[in-house]
Structure 1
Amino acid sequence: MCIDYRQLNKVTIKNKYLLTRLDNFFDQLKGAIIDLRFGYYKLRVKDSDVPKIAFRTRYRHYEFLIMPFELTNAPAVFMDLMNRIFRPYLDRFVVVFIDDILIYS
């Protein structure tokens, strides 16, 4: 199933959280990585926003209770959360880039 969020993304107020360029991290990387591929799907959507991302098929109406990756602010919201969680360790031995946590020594 594919949901076209282009119209919703056009009217969404963009999150101002800047995503870091991956090449800025290359000096710090030593090879260890944790990939949180499905991390977005663990973030709960605010109850007031659930109807905004609902969709309908010919058989049923669906509402996401968790954040779908395709939404324009999903990567920034997720990366902001990860940076908050790992703040004490950032740039000491941890780097977060969207859904990757890089641990180095």
Structure 2
Amino acid sequence: MILSFISLENEKLLNSIHVVRDFPEVFLDDVLGLPPKRELEFSIDLMPGAGPVSISPYRMAPIELSELKKQVEELLEKQMIRPSVSAWGALVLLVKKKDSGVRLCVDYRKLNKLTIKNKYPLPRIDDLMDQLRGAFVFSKIDLRPFLDKFIVVFIDDILVYSGSMEEHREHLRIVLQVLKEK
């Protein structure tokens, strides 16, 4: 998990934030394996009559194929993925990152077309901004590195906001305790 800390008064380094030091297990450098099985099981509801979709892979250059193999082996080693014999299959591709590395991506658009959409509307941005009125301290927790690895969320950031530093420490402590327990 990556945490950005911003204060309108001044900026501080992550390790100087006392509440962050109290939750080292929440701020792992690397994730080894999937989390323990949870009580709630997630499933994807499909439209009636929808059958398995499997797409042939894109052709890749040898260097891309080598990188793909390396990343898949790393994910297998960390037990974040496992071999599958499912009738379902999605395209895998490599996307260039700003730092000149590559990110492994899975193209689930064909599956998405067959899913029954959840009816959870996103909040209006102006309503969200109204909630921030009067706040002076903000912490944004970026869960993107773990999205679809062991977290299912529809928006991958948590913004913690507070009117004072004292209030903010307590708000962060509450959020981090929940993340630690889950």
TM-score (norm 2): 0.26
Which structure: larger Rg? Answer: 2
Higher relative contact order (CA 8 A, sep 6+): 1
TM-score (norm 1): 0.40
